[in-house]
Amino acid sequence: MNLRLPWLMVVLLGLTALLAVTGLCVGSTGWEWAFGQHTEAAARTVLWEIRAPRTLASFLVGCLLGLSGAVAQGLFRNPLAEPYLLGTSSGAALFIALALATGSLGDASAWWASWGLTGVAFVGALAGVWATLVLARGATQTIRLLLCGVVVSVVSGAVTQLLMVRSAETWRTMQAFMLGNTGLLSWSSCLVLALTLVVALPVGILLSRVLDALSLGEDVARSLGVSLGAARATLVTVLALACGAAVAQAGLVAFVGLVAPHLVRPWSLSRHRSLLLLSSWVGGLLLLAGDVMARWLLAPQELPVGVLTAVLGGAYLLLQLYQQERQ
């Protein structure tokens, strides 16, 4: 048994509580204590209708990204794999750009007008994964699946850029999505994200032994009786649902899904059961910390949270690379 794991859980609980309270107290005016009997009605409204759902939803988005990142790295047996490899982000961006460029969301007769940008983004994310699976002829071959995901991402990204160039309004709206944005998260976002996590995380944990077997090689996994085709298809579904829901609610948040599994891998004992759980938790903490910093650093102005996670995540990976070269 890893004796450090209970201490890690205590530290994570403490950090979660600290960041949650900080998220409730940090707003456009900087730090202000938001609790107590003498708190004004307007301040309580801001607390429970804006800060509280934003704090919880940011944590849940990070949990889904951390989970999908751990699944992607286990599925592709590559520590540099990220959740967006199968076309989720590019598909979501393309569908949003199409909806904005064609004015479909403003047309009451359009069949997707009632979905809003969030619904369109989620459907686009699933469509990107579906296109990848069609091109790869299923999920039986990992390398083929990965390459087809890259193709779908590149082509979808090119079409999205063309649509953005044609319309200035599309460009402005897409900027918030491409840079990551937690400012519009609400209680309804919390409900969608929580339901997705409740479904995706248990399924991922149930398939953790499949990921353990895949880490030893496909031949070893087959010799252990693993049905690779069905297992990969289920893992891709988990990855698509978790990443699609996160992208639909908060846009493209970089590096959280890539970095979270790296941070917890030394405590996972090379078992994906604990790796998936810890990656999800740490992913939530990373994005929650990024959201607090985005509100606090330049208050009353707010930074795009995706920019902060990209800078900090990139710095972390460079530091890891530097340390490996010195060893």
Confidence of residue 114 (pLDDT cuts 50, 70, 90): very low
Confidence of residue 49 (pLDDT cuts 50, 70, 90): confident
What local confidence, expressed as pLDDT, does residue 120 receive?
A: 85
| Whether residue 88 has pLDDT greater than 70 | yes
| Whether residue 141 has pLDDT greater than 80 | no
Per-state percent for the chain, helix, strand, coil, to nearest 5: 80, 0, 20
What local confidence, expressed as pLDDT, does residue 172 receive?
A: 74
Average per-residue pLDDT for the chain: 84
Strand, coil or helix: 297: coil
Mean pLDDT of 301-316: 86
What local confidence, expressed as pLDDT, does residue 108 receive?
A: 42
The residues near 121 (Cβ < 8 Å, ≥ 6 apart) are 92, 93, 95, 96, 177, 244, 247, 248
The residues near 304 (Cβ < 8 Å, ≥ 6 apart) are 176, 179, 180, 181, 294
Nearest-angstrom CA–CA distance, 311 and 256 = 11
Nearest Cα to 57, choosing from 301, 305, 314, 296?
A: 305
Q: By percentage, how much of the chain surpasses pLDDT 70?
A: 88
What local confidence, expressed as pLDDT, does residue 146 receive?
A: 85
- How far from the centroid of its chain's Cα atoms is residue 206's Cα? 20
The DSSP letter of residue 79 is T
Mean pLDDT of 148-153: 91
| Whether residue 38 has pLDDT greater than 60 | no
What local confidence, expressed as pLDDT, does residue 178 receive?
A: 85
What local confidence, expressed as pLDDT, does residue 197 receive?
A: 95
What local confidence, expressed as pLDDT, does residue 227 receive?
A: 73
Identify whether the C-beta of residue 125 lies closer than 8 Å to the C-beta of residue 247.
yes
Confidence of residue 109 (pLDDT cuts 50, 70, 90): very low
What local confidence, expressed as pLDDT, does residue 121 receive?
A: 87
What local confidence, expressed as pLDDT, does residue 139 receive?
A: 72
b/e 294-314 (16+ beta carbons within 10 angstroms → b): bbbeeeeebbbbbebbbebbe
| Whether residue 30 has pLDDT greater than 70 | no
Nearest Cα to 144, choosing from 135, 154, 153?
A: 135
Q: Which of these ranges, 127-131, 156-160, 224-228, 262-266, has the smallest mean pLDDT?
A: 224-228
Domains of the chain and any CATH numbers: 28-326 (1.10.3470.10)
Identify whether the C-beta of residue 286 lies closer than 8 Å to the C-beta of residue 309.
yes
The tens digit of pLDDT for each residue in 165-211 reads: 877 777 777 887 888 888 888 899 999 999 999 999 999 999 988 88
Nearest-angstrom CA–CA distance, 98 and 105 = 10
Distances (CA, A) of 242 to 29, 72, 150: 33, 11, 19
| Whether residue 105 has pLDDT greater than 80 | no
Mean pLDDT of 318-327: 76
- H or E segment at 248? helix 228-250
Nearest-angstrom CA–CA distance, 174 and 268 = 38
